[in-house]
Amino acid sequence: MPSDTVHTLDRPANLDAGLLLARVMLSALFLVSGYFKLVAVERTAGYFGSLGLPMPNVMVWVAILAELGLPVLLLLGIRARWVALALCLFTLVTAATGHRFWGFDSATQFPQYIANLTQFLKNLGIAGGFLLLGLVGPGRFALDRRG
């Protein structure tokens, strides 16, 4: 191989494109989830109430605003570092409140246990992606490069 061969991921343009792609991929879930909460506010509030969340009729609007507003800011790259860290925290809170696998007996309630454990761990992975974006920033394809 020639000595001037460079790994493609070492190129700044690819890094910036990768950061943009990560912002798109991480935002998609929240935009879809926020939309479905918006079109089913009462049902979602009922679900939040079943989880024991305080003021479910208020919390549903907090979730809708977070899931629709923050991803749009992240996609555009506006205050992206802070937005990514806020989404990291939001995702950790939703993991702990919505996917309480520890409340199910793995021997007698295995389907519920494994489903909630899987969702909890997926949320941890998503939160890790947001944490990484919060640390490295949005890249050059952002409206506000300061993050």
pLDDT confidence of residue 9: 55
Tokens representing 78? 């506006």
Domain boundaries, given as residue ranges, for the chain: 11-136
pLDDT tens column, 53-88: 999 999 999 999 999 999 999 999 999 999 999 999
Token match 């890094």: residue? 15
How sure is the predictor about 132, in pLDDT bands with cuts at 50, 70 and 90?
Answer: very high
Length of the chain: 147
CA distance 21 to 110: 36
Average pLDDT, the chain: 92
CA distance 130 to 84: 5
* Contact criterion met (CB below 8 Å) for 38 and 64: yes
pLDDT confidence of residue 144: 85
Provide the whole-model pTM: 0.87
pLDDT tens column, 86-125: 999 999 999 999 999 999 999 999 999 999 999 999 999 9
* Contact criterion met (CB below 8 Å) for 127 and 85: no
